[in-house]
Structure 1
Amino acid sequence: MTSKIDDPYKVIGVKPDATDAEIKKAYRALAKELHPDINPGNAKNDERFKKVSAAYNFLRDPEKRRRFDAGEIDATGAEVPPREFYRDYAGSGQANRYQTTGDFDDLSDIFARAFGGRAGMGGGRYDSAGGMRMQMPGGDVQYNLEISFLGAVNGTKYPVKTPDGHSLEISIPAGIEHGQTLRLAGRGQPGFNGGPPGDALVHVGVAPHPHFERDGADILLDLPISIDEAVLGGTVSVPTIAGRVKLRIPAGSSGGRVMRLKGKGVSAKGRKAGNQLVTLRIVLPDHIDADLKSAIENWHKAHPYDARKGWKGER
């Protein structure tokens, strides 16, 4: 049995009335600090990053956040039963008639504590005494699975083992989105009296990435460049979801300029591949030395210009 999942607001470090923008800002700051790509080999940071990602995934789902705030679900997304109903049902003298799924972070735990079922009956078969035994389908197994951002956009496989010892490999199709559900036919609870087994419903959550964002089939990336690369141009190495590529920056590129890497976005089956949109962000050196300051001052005296000419930001 795993420990109770923490309050997602506390994990992210925001108040319950925080805006979506405030939650995203707090998450991105933590992701840059804790992401395994930035801190390889740090098991403590890895564990905290998983909790932060899970909390952010939970809070960025408007419906889950609303229901959690209303006390309808817990931090795992599991239903919180009405207290009166539980007391009445539990007091009926029927053993093991009501059981919560509990908290989980392990796929085997999830299969072991599967919940849900499908109403309805199939055909019947007779026992040796001539009585009819009703066939019923098995219950569906439901669980949450969090995958990495790159695993979602590129596709991946997750091998798991069920409580009865059988191996199960979950194939994640390329391009799957946060909140989608995969149905694994016949992987649920066994049927009753020869009825068909239920299905496994995999609710997929996608962990955010510290650098990439997704907009439909397009991948968004902010790329830091130096002041000399902006003025003089040059070729730089840029990460994509499929590996690093070279990008030529034209001379005289302003901060905020968007460069397109055609076909370097999400490529899902049956859909046209998206693009990667790279937004240039000019980053000044940590220290402005005398040479740089003097060069800019002299250039400014000889070439004065108004960077905000025609700008509509002030009314």
Structure 2
Amino acid sequence: MAKDPYTVLGVHKSADQDTIRKAYRALAKQHHPDRNPGDNSAEDKFKAASAAFEIIGDKDKRARYDRGEIDADGNERAFAGRSYGSGPGAGGDGFRAGAYGQPGGGQSRTYRSTGGGGFEDISDIFSEMFGGAAARGSASQQGRDVRYRMEVDFLEAARGNRKRVTMPDGRTLDINIPEGLRDGQSLRLRGQGEPGMNGGEPGDVYVDISVKPHRFFRLEGDTVTLEVPVTLSEAVLGGKITIPTVHGEVSIAVPRGASSGTALRLRGKGLKNAKTGTHGDQIARLRIVLPDKPDEALEEFARTWDGDREDDPRSRLKL
């Protein structure tokens, strides 16, 4: 957990907003990575100051922190994006972590942010530190790109959805989650980054996607695999059963004499491939389950039936 933001910025808890802002600007200028190349300690202090200012540099967040509603990292159980659209599991977690700054035509660096109004202030500092020549020459400069991480549910990514999220600067954006989105992919929101200088174009927002694992679906490329429990009678006699897919429930036929490990392929029930536009398959892998409680009739049948068997199920294991 981050340190107390008042301690990080070196201000008293009764300090006014102007004092907090001045303290932050001084620390940010002193420890900025571009002024201290290769100095990890300075970069850590810069990140800590930025994170602290994100909390107490905003009046509302400062009040909530003082009341104990959020911690020094800005974590609060209510900090979430609101999802809407098709598909269950649409409740999202919103933006979770850092922002990355990238001046137009410049070097990309990584900086952490937990929300609030600090991006505007960091831009002001960059303008003072690096933008003097451009300002004097009235040269336009593209706004900085901003990067976030966002966590989405497995089904939300598989089916596609629209997600409304709150940006650290207070704006709300509607993000289109395309069907078949994968863990580690990024979404680009053109023109939604920081504003440009001297008439320059705004930067972009890049959203790095983290997909939550599902409790029983597993993904292998475009193929979804599912372990399907079946009873002993279903395996011996066969029959129709209903199972879930990422697109909804379907009915499948269990073949007579099925064994644990029998794989049934459901074509087109996997994830959409963005390049080809086609869907992968779903593999339903059967697993025979016995009753939880002892069954005397079943045990008696097994003793009688096993005595008539001639084949050895482990014959292939012999060396």
Q: TM-score range by the shorter chain?
A: 0.5 to 0.7
Contact 1:142 1:202 in 2 (8 A): yes
1:116 matched to 2:101? The reply is yes
Residues in 2 aligned to 1:111 and 1:288: alpha-carbon distance in whole angstroms: 49
Q: How does 1:149-188 map to 2 (within 5 A)?
A: 149-162=154-167, 166-188=171-193
Give the drift of 1:167: 3.2
What is the aligned partner in structure 2 of residue 234 from structure 1?
239
Q: How does 1:1-315 map to 2 (within 5 A)?
A: 82-84=40-42, 99-100=50-51, 103=73, 106=79, 114-120=99-105, 132-162=137-167, 166-269=171-274, 270-311=276-317, 315=319
Give the drift of 1:84: 4.8
Query: Structure 1 residues 115, 181: CA separation in 2 closer, same or farther (over 3 Å shift)?
Result: same
2:40 maps to a residue whose letter is P
Partner SS state of residue 293, structure 2: coil
Give the drift of 1:302: 2.1
TM-score (norm 1): 0.62
Contact 2:95 2:165 in 1 (8 A): no
Query: Structure 1 residues 113, 179: CA separation in 2 closer, same or farther (over 3 Å shift)?
Result: closer
Query: Structure 1 residues 120, 100: CA separation in 2 closer, same or farther (over 3 Å shift)?
Result: farther
Give the drift of 1:119: 4.2
Contact 1:139 1:197 in 2 (8 A): yes
Give the drift of 1:85: 5.3
Partner SS state of residue 278, structure 1: strand
Residues in 2 aligned to 1:201 and 1:113: alpha-carbon distance in whole angstroms: 11
Query: Structure 1 residues 117, 299: CA separation in 2 closer, same or farther (over 3 Å shift)?
Result: same
- Deviations along 1:22-46, one digit per CA (max 9) or x if unpaired, are xxxxxxxxxxxxxxxxxxxxxxxxx
Residues in 1 aligned to 2:149 and 2:220: alpha-carbon distance in whole angstroms: 23
Residues in 1 aligned to 2:296 and 2:247: alpha-carbon distance in whole angstroms: 42
Residues in 1 aligned to 2:233 and 2:148: alpha-carbon distance in whole angstroms: 51
Give the drift of 1:165: 5.0
Give the drift of 1:304: 3.5
Query: Structure 1 residues 245, 225: CA separation in 2 closer, same or farther (over 3 Å shift)?
Result: same
Partner SS state of residue 99, structure 1: helix
Residues in 1 aligned to 2:176 and 2:209: alpha-carbon distance in whole angstroms: 12
Contact 2:196 2:203 in 1 (8 A): yes
Percent of matched pairs sharing the same residue? 36
Query: Structure 1 residues 113, 84: CA separation in 2 closer, same or farther (over 3 Å shift)?
Result: closer
Give the drift of 1:260: 0.6
Query: Structure 1 residues 260, 111: CA separation in 2 closer, same or farther (over 3 Å shift)?
Result: closer
Query: Structure 1 residues 161, 133: CA separation in 2 closer, same or farther (over 3 Å shift)?
Result: same
What is the aligned partner in structure 2 of residue 126 from structure 1?
none
Stretches of structure 2 lacking an aligned partner (at least 5 in a row): 3-38, 55-72, 82-93, 107-134
Give the drift of 1:271: 2.7
Stretches of structure 1 lacking an aligned partner (at least 5 in a row): 5-80, 91-95, 122-129
Contact 1:236 1:247 in 2 (8 A): yes
What root-mean-square deviation, in Å, do the aligned CA atoms of Structure 1 and Structure 2 show? Answer: 3.1
2:251 maps to a residue whose letter is K
Residues in 2 aligned to 1:254 and 1:111: alpha-carbon distance in whole angstroms: 44
TM-score (norm 2): 0.62
Residues in 2 aligned to 1:111 and 1:299: alpha-carbon distance in whole angstroms: 59
Residues in 2 aligned to 1:267 and 1:246: alpha-carbon distance in whole angstroms: 21
Residues in 2 aligned to 1:112 and 1:287: alpha-carbon distance in whole angstroms: 48
